[in-house]
Each structure stands twice: as structure tokens, then as C-alpha cells.
A and B are shown apart, each in its own frame.
Chain A
Amino acid sequence: MLSVVGRKSGSADTGPTQALSPVDEADLIQRCRANERAAQDELYQRFRRQVAATLYRVLGDRTDLDDLVQEVFVIAFRGLATFRGDARLSTWLYRICVNVALGRIRSRTRRPPPLSVLDLEAATASSSETEQPETPERALERQQERARVYTALDRMAPKKRIVLYLHEIEGLDLKDIAYMVDSNPVTVRTRLFYARREFYALLTGGDAAEVDE
């Protein structure tokens, strides 16, 4: 059974609720299939932050994020009837998020909004939670670095962007990525090779043109 999200960074955002055991998870799915509203509420409460965080990280901005979260849960409740249970529920939801985000990337033409004062304040606030307090300058640098990463991602083809994101940022292996994007590992490996080359070239602006791979 695939269990990707539980051991990855996404688990940090599932909130105070404890992870479900496979038995409890199967019971929750069964009750959701029977259209039990309390069960659907529980599933939503349990996974809403994970879904929102995943979409936010993949896309890099929060435009229409509530609509996308709604879309993910509508697809999930609709698809639970055919969910075979070959992956954990969190992984399956993560996969839906990836595909919804992919659709969003394909449809949008706008670039992420420029840095705003609110973003800088948020960056400063989040840094205060780390062990070593950051200066506002350092927080701004990190925020700019993050913006550069998303700018480079925005210039890539959607399929390449998704595999690169899943590998480089989420740290998934080829098999897990293949499950997420409904492809096979060999194709993913090839796509990842070209995606990495393009992404880092975009970031370096073509420095060191003659390179050893």
C-alpha cells in the first residue's frame, strides 16, 4: 500500500488530529460511501489543511485556493465509491491535489503576484518560530529566493513542473511520482532529467554553459 504523504512534509499540517489506523480509515471510507454526513465532516476536518497546504505549495499562490480545495473534496467524495484502497487515504487525496493543481497550472496564464508587504510580514512572523531569530533582511532574502523558484517553475511545461516539484521539493521517489501523475517510472525519470536541466538553467541564467552532467 502506497503511503507517501504520511512520511513527508505534508504530515506536519494535518493539524492536531492523530493519524488514522488502516482499520479506522477503512471504516471512515465506508461511512463516507454510505453518505453519512458526520463521516464526511470528519474526513474534511482531518484533511482540509493538508489539501490546502499541498495546493498552496504546488501553485505558489493562494489565488482561488478555496475553490481548488472545494474541487479536491468534491472529486474525493465523488470518487470514494471507486477508491480501491491500494494507497492510504492521505496519499490518494494528495494525488487528487496534484492533478487539480496540474489542471490549474494548465489553465492559468497569470504569473504569481509580486511580493507584498503582507508576504514580508508573514515571512518575518514565520521565521520567529525557528530556533534562531532571523533579521528582516534575511527573511526578505528567503522570500525572494522562494519567489525566484516559483518564477522558474512558472516558465516550465506543466508536466515537467509537477515532476520536478514532487522530486526536488517534496522529495518523492520515482515510483511515488509515477503514481501521483499516473505514469510509469521510466517516463517520469526521463521527464525529470529534462526538467531538472531546464529548471536549474533557468535559475542560473545560463551560467557555466559547458558542463559535465
Chain B
Amino acid sequence: MRHVAAQRWADLARGRVSAGDERRMRAHTATCDACARVRDRMAGVVGAFADIAREPAPELGWDHIRARVYWATSSERRERERTQRMNAITLRRWGRVGLFAAPALIAAAAALVVYERSGSGPERGEPPPIAHATAPSPSPLAPAPVPGKPLAGVVTLAQGAVAIDDASSAARVLAHPVVAGTTVTTTDGRVAVQFGDGSSFALGPQSSLRVARFDGGGVDLALGGAGEITIEVAPRAPGQRFTVTAGDRTVEVRGTAFRVARRGSTVDVSCAHGLVAVHDGSGDLLVPAGQGVVVDDAESLADRAARPLDAAAIAGLTSQIGPRLPVWTEPAQLYRTSAPLAIVAPARRAVRVDGQIVGEGALTLRVMSGRHLVEAASTGGRFAAGEWVAAGPGRDDGRIDARIEVHAAASPVAPAPSAAEARATRKSELARGLDQPRVANCLRALAKQGIGGTHLELELNVDEGGAITFLNIVDTDLPDTMSSCVRNAVAAVRFPSGQAATFRHRLEF
């Protein structure tokens, strides 16, 4: 007896079969209990299809998603624009090389042709003569930088007591352009200045800075008797110099992100990436990426060597630079299209704007016009639901355009577990999450031979977000391929968010 296929019953339930087929199918069920059961079953399935198709969208954290989308797309766009600018600079440089090299090449080719036609070619075994070409005239741009047009910086963040020239209120500081001759002073606060799309500096507490030179030909920032400045510089124009003077020493930028701190009689230079050179009367000292140096005024640079920085120090360097406006044009236009935003938050609580941490406590920063998500961390360091604030187009009178008060809820969570508890929790999560069939598959060759009693000991760190930051094999008696296969299985375990922990785990097989 031939039965009716299940999908035909589903079609029937949705009215997708002809009248003749329907008659035949129904007649069949009169004598076939199996098909009658399948028919009823398929009617339920088709009902489930309709339920699924009507399923509404679940409620999600729409504002958080929007902020993350905005951040991802704007970061990509900025990176793309920066790459394009760098490519353009490279092309211009090569263009200049080509411009001056072309006459030399033509002259060389002409000399070679004349030489060949004159029949005075080299005798066999003699070294070929060198063709002399007219030397190109020196580049009018290359030897000395031409002073470009004056630069202007825009204050993007002001926190605590800061002053720029005679402006001391947060609103006036944010509306004050930073140009050559400007003096920036901080007592218990900090201030961040952006100039161009990719260059910024942030002045730390108890600092004073004078902008000695600020134009296309060079930038010279003079740190006062004490203070700390963190700088990130986009690729500079050809010939442009960028220096920071601290006491008798000059730090010249040859890279991108670094910090200079003047404390009493010492100068502390740390480089996050790129390269900086420290000069004084006794000589030069290069400080490469990931290294730093502390030099006392009484010491000679020749006696000092750069030392490696730890990961926390490097991370601290890069986090000092304030928020960056995603679009840079001329300062005047930027003032029109952006606005100061005052944020009132509890002291020592991190504040996040559009997903990026911008500082702690109360602060004022410049943001592009539009809606922004502002969040303050709780005592547990977690960001609770934030609030949206709309910042309108900028105004020239220096008044605060938007103000928001974000309250960080007290940490609702219990006190953090001890390190031992965190390790135990992470270990049990690893044991639960490990894909045992996958591990068994790694070891199937040994299992076939009846070999057991092997082991693999791992050391791993799981951060608060549940990501594995490192995973090393400490000890094993497995062959390399098997141990790395098991290691990969461990690396695939997905840990939930929780306390960070570093621990060893021994797997016995």
C-alpha cells in the first residue's frame, strides 16, 4: 500500500492541493490510520508555522544597539578617511620624487644613446663607465619646511578647574580656540584638545602648557615647571616638526602616541606607539614604542636607556587622550556643527558617551550635534541604563548647549568573590562548557590503541567579559597535534561574564 507523503498533508492543510488530489487523499485516510495520524500531525505543524510567522520582535536594548552601530560605523569611516589621507600624502611625496627624477632619467637615457652611437662601448672585461646626468635642482619644498598656515585646536573636553588664557569656566574654555601663544593651565582637572582629525593632546592635572608654535611648519609645546601631557599625532606633513619642551630637554615626535611628564627635576617620557627622541646638550636618546625613560635634570642622557613599560602603563597612555570628534573641518565650522555638553555624574564614576569612556565624574565635552547616549558606571563598574541627550547646533556665545545629569545606581551585586572563589567558578564553567565529544575526537587515535592515563595541564586567564585572554599548555604527555586539538576545544568554551581569574586546569584522559 502506498501512503501519502507528509509534505502533501502539509500542502493540504494550507490549501495547496487540487480538488481531485484532496478527494483521493481523504479517501485514503478512511482506510489508513498511519496517514490519518500524519495528516493530524501536519495540521499542527502548519499551525506552528503560522504562529512563528506572527511572532513579534522581542524587546531589546534598542538604544544600546544604536549607540554600538553608530560607534562601529563612525570608527570605520574615520579609519577609512585617515587611510585615504595617508595614501594621498604618499602619492604627493612620490609625485615630487618623480618630478625631479624624470629629468635625470631622461638625461641618463640620452647620454647612454649618444654613448652607444659613438661606438666607444666598453671593451670586453672592462668595467662599464658611469653615465653622468645633470643633477636635479634641489626641491624647493624638501630641505626646509615652509611655514604653513596657522593651526587652531578645539577643546574637546574640560574637567575640573582648567583655564585657557583668561577663560576659566568650562563653557568658555570649550569655546576658546587653541592657537600659537595660548597658555593652558590645569589645577585639579584635565583638558583635551584636538587639532585635525587625527591629532590630539591631553593635559593632566597640575600642569601648565604654552603653545609656542602651532602652524603647518611645526608645532612646539612648552611644558611649564610641572605637568603631564599625553599626545597622539596623525601622520605629519613632510618637513613638519613636532616638539615638546620640558625643562632643558626637548622631546621630538617621530611617531604617534606618547606622554611627557615633568615632575620636580625629572622628565618622564613614555611612548605608546611610534618613536620619540629626547634631546639635550649631552645628546639624543630614542624611546621606541612600548618603552619609557625617566631622566633627572642632573643626569646625562648618555647614562640613561629606555626601559619597557608594562601593559597597564601602555593602556593608561592610550586612554588619556580625550574623546575625538568624528569629523574635522575648520574650527569655525566645527563650532557651528558641534556643541558643548555638560555631564553631571558622581565623582570617580566612569562616564561613557556613545559607548566610549570619556572620563570620570562631572565633565564638559564637545560633541557633534545630535542625540548621544550618556551612561555612568555603578560602584561595581557596570554601566546601567543610560540617558539620551540631544545636543543642538553650536552657538558662538560660549554657553553650554546641553546638560545632563546621570545617576549611577549603587552596585546591586553582592561583594566580589575572592580570587579563590573566582578560580573555582571559572573551573566549573570550563568543565561544564567543554565539548567532550570534540575532545574525545581529538584523542580517538589513542583510544583505538587502548592507550589511556594521559593528561594535559593548561593555564588560562578569563577576563570579566568571559573572553580567554591567554591559554597555554603547561604540561602534557600527548603528541603535539592532539594537545593542540584539545587546546582548541578549550579555547572554544564560552564563559559567561563574571570575575576575572587566572588558573591552571588539568585534564585527565
Interface set of A (CB-CB < 8 Å, partner B): 9, 12-13, 35, 37-38, 40-41, 44, 48-50, 52-53, 56-57, 60, 62, 65-66, 69-70, 73-74, 77-78, 109, 126, 141-142, 145-146, 148-149, 168-171, 196-197, 199-201, 203-204, 207-213
Chain B min CB distance to A1 (Å):
23
B124 contacts partner chain A, Cβ-Cβ < 8 Å: no
List 29 contacting pairs A-B, 8 Å CB cutoff, sorted by A. Answer: A35-B77, A37-B70, A41-B66, A50-B57, A52-B57, A56-B55, A60-B52, A66-B64, A69-B60, A74-B69, A77-B69, A141-B44, A145-B48, A146-B51, A148-B45, A149-B49, A168-B10, A169-B49, A169-B52, A200-B7, A200-B42, A203-B42, A207-B34, A207-B37, A208-B3, A208-B6, A211-B4, A212-B4, A212-B5
A170 to B54 CA separation, bound complex (whole angstroms): 10
In the complex, whether B38 has a CB less than 8 A from a CB of chain A is: yes
B110 is an interface residue with CB less than 8 A from chain A = no
Number of A-B pairs whose CB atoms are under 8 Å? Answer: 132
CB pair A200–B66 under 8 Å, yes or no, is no
For A66, the chain B residues whose CB sits under 8 A away are 60-61, 64-65
Query: Which residues on B are within 8 Å of A, measured CB to CB?
Result: 1-8, 10, 34-35, 37-38, 41-42, 44-45, 47-49, 51-58, 60-62, 64-66, 68-70, 72-73, 76-77, 368, 370-371, 435
- On chain A, the residues within 8 Å of B38 by CB distance are 204, 207-208
Chain B residues closer than 8 Å to A62, beta-carbon distance:
58
Neighbouring B residues of A60 by C-beta, 8 Å: 52
Q: Which residues of B contact A141 (CB under 8 A)?
A: 44
For B47, the chain A residues whose CB sits under 8 A away are 142, 145
The smallest beta-carbon distance between B439 and chain A, in angstroms, is: 14
Cα–Cα distance between A211 and B47 once the two chains are bound (Å): 23
Write the chain A residue with the least CB distance to B9: A200
Q: How far is the CB of A208 from chain B (nearest CB, A)?
A: 4
User: What are the 3 tightest A-B residue pairs by CB atom distance, in nearest-first order?
Assistant: A200-B6, A208-B3, A53-B57
A49 to B53, CA, bound (A): 14
**A200:B5 contact, CB within 8 angstroms:** yes
Given the known inter-chain contacts A53-B56, A210-B3, please indicate yes or no for A149 contacting B34, CB distance below 8 A.
no
* Across-interface contacts of B53 in A (CB, < 8 A): 9, 57, 169-171
Q: With CB as the reference atom, state the residue of chain B lying closest to A143.
A: B51
Distance from B72 Cβ to chain A, minimum over Cβ atoms (Å):
5
In the bound complex, do residue B69 and residue A70 qualify as a contact, i.e. CB atoms below 8 Å apart?
Answer: yes
Does the CB pair B55–A53 fall under 8 Å? yes
Inter-chain CA distance A199–B38, complex, in Å, is 14
Chain A proximity of B438: nearest CB distance (Å): 9
Q: Contacts A65-B60, A70-B69 given; 7 further ones with Cβ under 8 A?
A: A37-B70, A38-B370, A44-B69, A70-B72, A74-B69, A197-B7, A211-B6
- The 8 Å CB contact of A57, one of B8, B37, B52, B69, is B52
Q: Which residue of chain B has its CB nearest to the CB of A198?
A: B7
What residues on B are CB-neighbors of A204 within 8 Å? 6, 38, 41
- Known contacts A70-B68, A204-B38, A208-B3; A52 and B73 CB within 8 A of each other: no
- Check A74–B73 contact: CB distance below 8 A: yes
Residues of B within 8 A of A70 (CB): 65, 68-69, 72
Least Cβ distance of B385 to chain A in Å?
Answer: 14
B7 touches A146 (CB 8 A): no
Chain A contacts for B35, CB-based, 8 A: 208
Contacts of B7 in A (CB 8 A): 196-197, 199-200
Cβ-defined contact, A213 with B5, below 8 A: yes
